[in-house]
Chain A
Amino acid sequence: MNFRRLFLIATPYFWLLALFLIPFLIVLKISLSDPAVSIPPYTPTLDLSAGWGSIKTFFTELDFENFIFLTEDALYWKAYLSSLQIAAISTFLALLVGYPIAYAMAQASDSWRPTLMMLVILPFWTSFLIRVYAWIGILSNEGFLNQLLQWIGLINEPLTILNTNAAVYIGIIYTYLPFMVLPIYSALEKMDESLIEAAEDLGCSRLSAFWLVTFPLSRPGMIAGCFLVFIPALGEFVIPSLLGGSGTLMIGKVLWEEFFNNRDWPVASAVAVVLLLILIIPIILFQRNEQKQREADQ
């Protein structure tokens, strides 16, 4: 066996093992433990110095108690469901906002495209946290948005947007919009313009040429964009905790509270493991879609 080849193949697997699998196994182990008033705040801990017998007792003390607990308290499944709902709705809205942006970028002249691309990426140059904080200044009752709307006479009383789910949607869409725009843009940009001309030549109006040719051909980009928005939005913690109110229930926030307010590491870990399992399903679907696309391109 060629050593160099083996090394090349082993490298990504090593990083995957070190950065994903081992941390996951640690979290999984904690989720099977019991809470305790100690450091670290759970038992059992593995003590290899005591020999084979202690390893055996260590494994017998692990159980699924915390996972059963998650099903007993309605808070958890409500939080999962509400997170799924918020992630799904904001993904859909991001698609509605992002598609026209990507389309306009693809239609722009070659000299403009790098500038537009830059503008889409530009927000990443500022800290994510600061940008979310900035929305508080915009959305609060005395914020810029309410001031503007009152000044032009559209409303008399300030709208309550901050600390509601609406603010969370705005925050998620704003934050993850580039992830929606870029894959759609790359799908639209490589499309041959003569396809649209061919559709028109064969009797399509401008609009039907878009629906019958452009839209289906940008589908892989839309799917990629939706996954790139949906996956991080599902576990989102910063946006709901800064912009959302007490009524905003998201699993990321629940996870935070279990860890830092309750100091219940085992339950928090169980929440994290279930979240990961929920996320694995769309990730597998996403990868299958990618692979199908690759096969189709050959």
Chain B
Amino acid sequence: MAQPGNKPVFAPWNDPHQKPLIQFKNVTKRFGDFVAIDDLTLDIYAKEFFALLGPSGCGKTTLMRMLAGFENVTRGEILLDGQDIARVPPNKRAVNMMFQSYALFPHLSVANNIAFGLKRSSMPKEKIPARVEEMLRLVHLEQFANRKPHQISGGQRQRVALARSLAKAPKLLLLDEPLGALDKKLRQDTQFELMDIQEKTGTTFVIVTHDQEEAMTVASRVAVMDNGRMIQVDTPDRIYETPNSVYVADFIGDVNLIKGRIESSGGDNYTIQWAEGQAPITAAGPQGLTSGTSCHFAIRPEKVAISAEKPTDRSNALQGKILDIAYLGNVSTYHVELANGQIIKAQVANNRRISRRDMTWDDNVWVSFTDTAGLVLLK
């Protein structure tokens, strides 16, 4: 696969010479007393696949609707290609949107739905059929051109909506929960198709989703939002591996959170005192944390090992009892209760048959992890 040495990595956000396609500058949006977007600043670059992720009501849909032109900005400005778009109505923006409900015109055929935007554009009439044909080929719906939206399946409708929003070759495509209505299998297939189409057309995609797996799969960068604010904007792997806060760590994937206090520090290695009668946790963290600071220690279940004997090669080992086992097929998650009641989740790959599993409920076990496996989070 891609070797960072041979192929340039797509990371315009790390290049200070790159000009962002979209800039949010201190944008605030209020609905009456409710603050939907709170003083938000964000850059999105051309050809990015940018995911806005967050729980419902976090402001991600409002952010997207402001880009499309359906909501005004209360304060601050949004620049598209360096131009303030506050005064530009939705029908004059080089931005198209794929709606959550697809919003296909029920009285028009698939081909006419796709042609709808082209007919309102400056494209010469005789060139429209070829463009429609091209879009139908892109989403593999050539033989459904003359069907009405109610005569095709949900997955096909989703693709018509995608083709329609891409037909005008917008600078920016907005996707509002584009896969929300599809079943899981179809959703996974479509995710890869979306990435493929994004790469083929070179369009900048901004996707709104509440499904973290979807965001991680498709996006070049993920923005985690909460209460109208950006909590963290980063690549999927960095969001997962180095979340900047308890909120992000907890929102993305599964995590063990242990509340404690930094006791002693030597360089970037810390000892965390976290419970009476429990051995302190040693962990690496950012430099310069002072003793006495309260913090959270976060560690992913798959980075916690579980064994019957106390391991000698890991700097942290805690004893407990297996409370529960969640069998997920490829992996099992063991819920281990420590002496003070704290539950630690450990995830183990099931590379042996389940009948040969040597640990079971109420067994006394050790959970262990190295000092670099977890993270020290201050907020």
Residues of A within 8 A of B (CB): 192, 194-195, 197-205, 208, 212-213, 216-217, 296-298
B72-101 contacts to A (CB < 8 Å)? 89-91, 95-97, 99-101
Q: Which residues of A contact B164 (CB under 8 A)?
A: 202
Residue of B nearest to A202 (CB): B117
**Chain B contact residues, majority secondary structure:** loop
Number of B interface residues in the complex (CB < 8 A)? 25
Cβ A213 vs Cβ B105 within 8 A: yes
B150 within 8 A of A: yes
Cβ A203 vs Cβ B120 within 8 A: yes
Query: In the complex, A298→B148 CA distance in Å?
Result: 11
Cβ B106 vs Cβ A200 within 8 A: no
Contact with A along B133-160 (1 / 0, CB 8 A): 0000000000000001010000000000
Offer 22 A-B interface pairs, CB within 8 angstroms, sorted by A: A194-B99, A194-B100, A194-B101, A195-B103, A197-B90, A197-B97, A197-B99, A198-B97, A200-B69, A200-B91, A201-B69, A201-B90, A201-B91, A202-B165, A203-B91, A205-B91, A212-B116, A216-B107, A217-B107, A296-B148, A296-B150, A298-B150
Cβ A194 vs Cβ B150 within 8 A: no
Cβ B117 vs Cβ A192 within 8 A: no
Taking a contact as CB atoms closer than 8 A, the residue among A192, A216, A217, A298 that contacts B103 in the complex is: A192
Q: Which residues of A contact B107 (CB under 8 A)?
A: 216-217
Given A202-B117, A203-B168: A197 and B103 interface contact (C-beta under 8 Å): yes
B68 within 8 A of A: yes
Q: Which residues of A contact B97 (CB under 8 A)?
A: 197-198, 201
Residue of A nearest to B107 (CB): A216
Query: In the complex, A297→B90 CA distance in Å?
Result: 31
Given A192-B101, A192-B103, A216-B107: A199 and B116 interface contact (C-beta under 8 Å): yes
Query: In the complex, A203→B116 CA distance in Å?
Result: 9
Cβ B120 vs Cβ A197 within 8 A: no
User: Within the complex, what minimum Cβ distance (angstroms) separates B101 from chain A?
Assistant: 5
User: Within the complex, what minimum Cβ distance (angstroms) separates A294 from chain B?
Assistant: 12
Cβ A203 vs Cβ B121 within 8 A: yes
Given A192-B103, A203-B168, A216-B107: A197 and B70 interface contact (C-beta under 8 Å): yes
Q: Which residues of A contact B95 (CB under 8 A)?
A: 201
Cβ A201 vs Cβ B96 within 8 A: yes
Identify 10 new A-B residue pairs, CB closer than 8 A, beyond the known A198-B105, A202-B165, A202-B168: A197-B68, A197-B90, A197-B97, A198-B99, A199-B116, A200-B91, A202-B96, A203-B117, A213-B105, A297-B150
Cβ B103 vs Cβ A198 within 8 A: yes
User: Within the complex, what minimum Cβ distance (angstroms) separates B316 from chain A?
Assistant: 52
Given A217-B107, A297-B150: A200 and B90 interface contact (C-beta under 8 Å): yes
Query: In the complex, A197→B96 CA distance in Å?
Result: 11
Residue of A nearest to B97 (CB): A201
Residue of A nearest to B115 (CB): A202
Q: Which residues of A contact B91 (CB under 8 A)?
A: 200-205
Query: In the complex, A298→B149 CA distance in Å?
Result: 11
The 7 closest A-B pairs by CB, nearest first: A203-B120, A202-B117, A198-B103, A194-B103, A200-B90, A194-B99, A216-B107
Query: In the complex, A201→B67 CA distance in Å?
Result: 11
User: Within the complex, what minimum Cβ distance (angstroms) separates A238 from chain B?
Assistant: 39
Query: In the complex, A125→B164 CA distance in Å?
Result: 49
Residue of A nearest to B122 (CB): A203
Query: In the complex, A190→B148 CA distance in Å?
Result: 19
Q: Which residues of A contact B90 (CB under 8 A)?
A: 197, 200-201
Q: Which residues of A contact B70 (CB under 8 A)?
A: 197
User: Within the complex, what minimum Cβ distance (angstroms) separates B369 from chain A?
Assistant: 48
Query: In the complex, A187→B269 CA distance in Å?
Result: 68
Q: Which residues of B contact A213 (CB under 8 A)?
A: 105
Taking a contact as CB atoms closer than 8 A, the residue among B68, B96, B100, B106 that contacts A217 in the complex is: B106
Cβ A201 vs Cβ B68 within 8 A: yes
Residue of B nearest to A219 (CB): B107
Query: In the complex, A198→B69 CA distance in Å?
Result: 11
User: Within the complex, what minimum Cβ distance (angstroms) separates A200 from chain B?
Assistant: 5
Contact with A along B254-273 (1 / 0, CB 8 A): 00000000000000000000
Residue of B nearest to A194 (CB): B103
Query: In the complex, A6→B221 CA distance in Å?
Result: 66
Cβ B103 vs Cβ A208 within 8 A: no
Q: Which residues of B contact A200 (CB under 8 A)?
A: 69, 89-91
Most A-side CB within 10 Å, residue of B103, B116, B164, B168: B103
Query: In the complex, A204→B105 CA distance in Å?
Result: 13
Q: Which residues of B contact A205 (CB under 8 A)?
A: 91
Residue of A nearest to B101 (CB): A194
Q: Which residues of B contact A192 (CB under 8 A)?
A: 101, 103
Query: In the complex, A205→B116 CA distance in Å?
Result: 13
Q: Which residues of B contact A194 (CB under 8 A)?
A: 99-101, 103
Residue of B nearest to A209 (CB): B91
Cβ A195 vs Cβ B117 within 8 A: no
Query: In the complex, A201→B99 CA distance in Å?
Result: 10
Q: Which residues of B contact A198 (CB under 8 A)?
A: 97, 99, 103, 105
User: Within the complex, what minimum Cβ distance (angstroms) separates B109 from chain A?
Assistant: 13
Residue of A nearest to B100 (CB): A194
Q: Which residues of A contact B148 (CB under 8 A)?
A: 296
Taking a contact as CB atoms closer than 8 A, the residue among B106, B120, B150 that contacts A202 in the complex is: B120
Query: In the complex, A197→B107 CA distance in Å?
Result: 16
